Amino acid sequence: MPDVYIAMGQTAENVATSHGISRAEQDLWAVQSQNRAEAAISSGFYAREITPYTRKDGTVVERDDSPRAGVTLEAVSALEPVFRKEGTVTAGMPARSTMAPPPWWS
């Protein structure tokens, strides 16, 4: 029986290839999406959806580790592909709940 599991990163590579989505387009989308999410959180847009969590040591966690502040196109463009040697998907393009759907999903 063949292995039917395909990692999400490999799936992203497959989708980019089959739809002709360039690395530059992916980088730009990732940065714009990250920055929009950061702005929405900072403005309080998601305030009712983000619930603080108190750890056993009493530390209150009020913010996730993403989106990261100050993400730039230059920084994302410098990242190496993760899933294929000649691929286009990098660690700067994670599928997170803070990211909007890509434009080709319309």
CA angle 85, 89, 90 (to 5 degrees): 90
Domain layout of the chain by residue ranges: 8-38+66-99
Rg (CA), the chain: 16
More confident residue, 14 or 69: 14
Q: Is 25 exposed, middle or buried (0-12, 13-18, 19+ CB in 10 A)?
A: middle
AA letter at 100: A
Report the predicted TM-score, pTM, of the whole model to 2 decimal places. 0.74
Write out pLDDT tens, residues 77-94: 999 998 889 999 988 876
What is the structure's pLDDT at 14? 93
Write out pLDDT tens, residues 33-79: 889 988 998 999 988 888 888 999 999 988 877 788 888 999 999 99
Q: Is 36 exposed, middle or buried (0-12, 13-18, 19+ CB in 10 A)?
A: middle
What is the structure's pLDDT at 98? 39
